[in-house]
Amino acid sequence: MTAPTLVIAARGSRDQRVARATQALKAELTRLRPEVDAHVAFLDSCLPSLPQVLGTVAGSGVDEVVVVPLELTHAIEVDPRIDGLVAQTTHQHPALRVSVARPIGPEASLLTLLDARLRSALAAARVLELDGLILSSATTGDVRGTALLARRARQWSTHHRLPCLTAVADGSGPSVAQAMQGLRSQGRRHIAVGSFFLAADERWAVQADQARRVGAVAVSEPLGTAAEVAELVLARYAFAAMELLPFDERGNFAAPEPEVAPIGALAFGA
């Protein structure tokens, strides 16, 4: 059986760094799993769009696809645009079967990567003293994602024995400036911001600029292309691909019957 095609669906941005980072993630996926045909699609600003990629894949004869949303703050809910675009494409290509995975979400494994990015920022800024942390993300996410982000902030705080508050860049929750004010009210003065973003999009730029203006000693770069991110994408892919396997009404796996060549087509050696 051929592995389903993998399509990673990113939000997109007018900033070309987002497209480059997403393409780099695709390259990392191919390095880890060369047998999986991986593609990139965007929901905003960038091309190719999700319908374009799914249409191209269907036109090449592929009949099974898994779409993995590149979303860090949503743990369960998928951007409704994805479901709508998938329904539109499968209507045009009835033979195409598409399974949409749950988003990457704020997994605990990403804290190690966040730590590495922040250590690099602290070293570049020559920061020797730190007494507060902010975990900044693009948005608050879905209910489960918001709860997990709060848990990740507590875990990060416990690990470093420093107070840590969360902030979001899109106005759906406390801003970086408000989080800084909260920590300063506790007497904290040397505060760094960990950027829980995949790529350097407009929202990352806004929170980074705001953090520096209100006195953050360092702001980390986005998580970017890393094995930790690629492994999460592959984990979501593998789970969602199970939905494409054929099962009978009793839940038993019904493997397709192998094709048997007619007798006249068989070649016999001497």
pLDDT in tens, 190-226: 999 999 999 999 999 999 999 999 999 999 999 998 9
Q: What is the DSSP letter of 14?
A: S
- Rounded distance between C-alpha atoms, residue 7 and residue 68, angstroms: 6
- Rounded distance between C-alpha atoms, residue 173 and residue 166, angstroms: 9
Q: What percent of the chain has pLDDT over 90?
A: 80
Q: Residue 248 has what pLDDT?
A: 46
Q: Residue 44 has what pLDDT?
A: 84
- Rounded distance between C-alpha atoms, residue 116 and residue 220, angstroms: 9
- Rounded distance between C-alpha atoms, residue 228 and residue 113, angstroms: 7
Q: Residue 262 has what pLDDT?
A: 46
Q: Residue 2 has what pLDDT?
A: 83
Pairing relation of β-strands 132-137 and 64-69? unpaired
- Rounded distance between C-alpha atoms, residue 227 and residue 82, angstroms: 25
- In 10 A of CB 74, how many CB atoms? 23
C-alpha count within 13 angstroms, C-beta hemisphere, residue 6: 26
Specify the amino acid at residue 30. T
Q: Residue 13 has what pLDDT?
A: 82
In tens, the pLDDT along 15-54 reads: 788 889 999 999 999 999 999 999 999 998 788 999 999 9
Q: Residue 178 has what pLDDT?
A: 97
Q: Is the pLDDT of residue 268 over 90?
A: no
Pairing relation of β-strands 5-10 and 97-100? unpaired
Q: Is the pLDDT of residue 96 over 90?
A: yes
Q: Residue 244 has what pLDDT?
A: 84
